[in-house]
Each structure stands twice: as C-alpha cells, then as structure tokens.
Chains A and B, each alone.
Chain A
C-alpha cells in the first residue's frame, strides 16, 4: 500500500524549510468531522484524509490569496521533493504516454491496485488535436513540444510540472504525480515523450 502521508520524507523536506506555524489549523474542526464521516474502502484508507502541511495550507487559502511567505515556503519545500530521472533520460515512449494520458483510473477504491495508475491528463487538458473529449481545468498543451523545443530548461520545467507542480505554482490544482507516487518514473518519462516527441500526436 502506498503510504501517502510519507511522514518521514515529507517532514524531513519541510523541516528543511520551516512552514509557518498556522499551516496545520484548517477550518473549524473540519478534519475531525471528516474523520467521523468517512470509512475505509479497499485501497482508499482513512489515512488519505490526513492532510499534509501543503494540503492544510492550500485548503485554508482556497479562496483567500496565499500570503507571500507561505507561498515561497511551499514552493521551496516542493522544489526540494523533485527527483530528476535516475538515468538522466527525460523522454520515454510517447505511445505509452498517450495511454497514461487517456487512462482515468488508478487509486480509487473501485480500482484494482495491481493495475498501473492512469494520469487522466485528458480530464483537464487538451493535448492531441485528434481527441475532442478533453477537459479545460488546465491550459491546452497542444503542440507542447513543437512550440517549446527540447532545451534542458524546457525539459526540467515540464518534469517539475509533472513531478510536483507546486514547485512552480504553490497550491496548484495539478496533482503532484511524482511526489505523491501516483505515477512511476517510467510513466513520467513516457508522458514527457507524449508532450515533447515530434512524432507524438500532441505535436501534429
């Protein structure tokens, strides 16, 4: 079972950059009411309701603007969690990447934990022109690689966006696919190829 609270790793990285003390205080005992109102179901355990420091802070500032100090500490803490590809290769197989972008399942109580998680990118983004069923919660990523080229900066930026988007945008709605272990390193590489490979449908 993926232990998502990762007390060890997260606390260590956040301690390196001490978050302001008010981070933990979420709205009026909502956390306690949440505990009383849910029950574990298959892989969706009750631990998932425990907010980490970033989630608690972002909850508190859902509508209010995030104070600059909190924003920069989240950004630094998130940046510290980003691990570049272990072999230094950013791009995998774009066909595998497309499957990940199309697959919406993964980590739900109704999903088979043995199956690889999907990235569900099409839920929020436009990618290949050929796919009409795309979402608009995130910006269009059409022609992502064609427009940006494959400079080291562009690859590193895109990798950060996938691994832990809050390294660039504190309290971003984009899930932290790498840091929260939703996608494996190989899956992230395949998505990078889907974004950058000139042959990928995203760049047609």
Chain B
C-alpha cells in the first residue's frame, strides 16, 4: 500500500514551510558567527608561534651546532619567502615528495644532526608541551602570505602523489563508511554550524587550503596540515594517520593542487 497522494502533498507543503523558517534562522546564525570571527581582527595568537619559529630557525642547535638558514625548502638554501606556496614537491636529496613539515624534519636531522624522534617527541603542542615543528611551520608559512599557490608538479612522483591523494579522498571505510568526500564532496554543506568547503573544486579548496596552518581557538594551539589530516581521520573513526606518510602527503598534494592559484593567507585563525 503506497503513501496516499494526500499525505505526500502534506509532506511537501509541510517541509516547504519549514524550509522558509529554517532559512531565516540559518542566515542570522551565520551572520552572527561571521561577526564573531571579525571581532578577532588581526590579533592572531599565531604570531607568537611565528616569532618562536623565527628564533628556532636562526639558533645553532643539535650535535652539529648549526641553525637552519641553509635549509632548502625547494627555492634554494635558506629561501623561505614563497617556499610554502610551492609545496609539496619532489626533492632530489631525499628522493621523495615532501610537504613543508617533513622537509623541515629533513633539515633538522641533516643540518643540525638532531634525531628525528627527538625533534618529533612533541609533534603537536598541548599547553606546556610546546612543538618546535609547529613554531617553525608558522614562521615559514607566514613568509608565503600573499603568494599564489603554484605547484611544480613535473616529477612523476608528484603526479603519483596527487593521484593517491585523489583516491584516498574518496576511500570510504570504518564503522561509519566515511571518506573525506562524505563531508567535503558537496557545496554549501555544514556539520552543526561548521561550514564545510567542497575541497574538490578550486573555490572550495582555496577557501580551506589558503588559511592552513591556523590558530585553533578551541584548543589555543597553532595547528598544521599534518595535524588537520590526522585529526579528520580520527573523527572518521579510522586509525591514526602516520606523520609524513604517503596518504598524508598525497592528500596535501591533492588539496594544494585543487587550490592552485589561490593566494595564501596563513597562518589563519579558526574555530
């Protein structure tokens, strides 16, 4: 016995009325949240990480008692201006496609001789436990503010990383059958009041990628792209994404490529 036409019509009329009411409440809530964000002005606590990162960059440390001014982020030794706008990319010396964070680890381990485990003991800061990786990342990223994203994308390994990122983006798994695409595959969607950029389009990818890394108000910490990806997988109910893994760098390559042409404005300030 299928639903009588009358009930179906009632359903339609009912939901239309609701939509009108909901739409009204929805825009005023989004207005109010936009206003809340504006009240932070340009006093972003990320600057505290930037100045700590600058100090770390210039301080001689580790067994080799060297600073990081010879670190090559792709534009030549010590060049940080605009470097983040052209990452991830292939590096001949490590024979790998690297994102900013794994590249910083390479510099710290080779130039300063600090063991990888020691440097990454506190990968993601938590109050008193401060992360040097986050501070250095904030410093380097800020030096690409205003620069357009432009990935070299010539090396086959870079293209392979992009393809893996694209595949991982829609890999549905875990108890909830979630993939990145589940939440970031469509336009104009949101979780609770949290707007979700559609990361498969240039506009959506730019809206997200150009503001990361960012200071997260909810945690009072500056968070990087590697943190952003592993925390998203945590909420997808999947196991832990390994730092600097193929999928982490592949997804970053996928997002950066989609956001190409966008102007970097990181570190941003986020919920």
Contact = CB atoms under 8 A, between A and B. Distances in A.
A36 B247 CA distance: 9
Interface stretch (A13-21, A44-52, A90-98, A190-198): A44-52
Interface residues of B, number: 56
A126 B241 CA distance: 31
Contacts, number: 160
Contacts of B242: 37-39
Contact of A126 (B1, B14, B22, B234): B22
Interface in A134-172: 134-137, 140, 142-143, 146-149, 153
Interface residues of A, number: 57
A34 B248 CA distance: 10
A204 interface: no
A59 B175 contact: no
Given A37-B241, A142-B22, A108 B190 contact: no
Interface in B152-205: 163-164, 166-168, 170-179, 181-183, 185-186, 188-194, 196, 200
B245 A55 contact: no
A68 interface: no
Contact of A41 (B25, B164, B240): B240
A142 B18 contact: yes
Nearest to A50: B173
B173 A55 contact: yes
A75 B233 CA distance: 27
A7 interface: no
Contacts of A175: 175-178
B238 A49 contact: yes
A193 B204 CA distance: 38
A73 interface: no
17 contacts: A27-B163, A36-B245, A37-B241, A48-B238, A49-B239, A50-B173, A51-B171, A107-B175, A123-B191, A132-B25, A132-B29, A137-B182, A137-B190, A147-B14, A173-B182, A175-B175, A181-B175
